[in-house]
């Protein structure tokens, strides 16, 4: 049953979590498949609602995690990454939040969706590479 504001478990596997919203769920899932093939265990959640967000449920998910990733086709500021970062800060949770999204600047680019995503490091390959790099640290 879908509960308003609650992330939906897509894949549960590991001590890290990817939270993706909107159309970026597809890209996140492709990255998850690539990571899994490389024996990297990570969970994947869809976050269809950013506001309101189920903070009690998120606290349960995050309490024993060391690192999480948020992926959105949106500015890193004011979206999913910010909502989760605020919860982590307010609850003093000991988890690193890596936000993937567009930078806070005006974009003067024109092109296909895939081209624009790649310019913001949001292609499947770029997401996979970023996650691998952060998990190695």
pLDDT in tens, 85-131: 999 999 999 999 999 999 888 888 899 999 999 999 999 999 999 99
Average predicted confidence (pLDDT) for the chain: 93
Residue 1's pLDDT is 64
Alpha-carbon gap, residue 78 to 90, rounded angstroms: 16
| CA-based torsion, 20, 127, 100, 119: positive or negative | negative
* Cβ neighbours, 10 Å, residue 34: 17
Q: What is the pTM of this model?
A: 0.93
Alpha-carbon gap, residue 68 to 47, rounded angstroms: 13
């Amino acid at each position: 049953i879908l509960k308003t504001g609650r992330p939906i478990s897509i894949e549960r596997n590991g001590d890290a979590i990817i939270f993706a919203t909107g159309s970026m769920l597809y890209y996140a899932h492709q990255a998850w498949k690539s990571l899994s093939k490389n024996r990297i265990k990570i969970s994947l959640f869809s976050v269809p609602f950013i506001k309101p967000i189920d903070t009690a449920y998120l606290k349960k998910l995050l309490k024993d995690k060391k690192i999480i990733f948020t992926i959105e086709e949106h500015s890193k500021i004011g979206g999913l990454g910010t909502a989760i970062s605020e919860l982590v800060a307010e609850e003093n949770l000991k988890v690193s939040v890596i936000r993937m999204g567009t930078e806070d600047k005006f974009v003067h680019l024109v092109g296909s969706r895939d081209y624009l995503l790649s310019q913001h490091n949001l292609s499947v390959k770029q997401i996979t590479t970023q996650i691998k790099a952060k998990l190695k640290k």
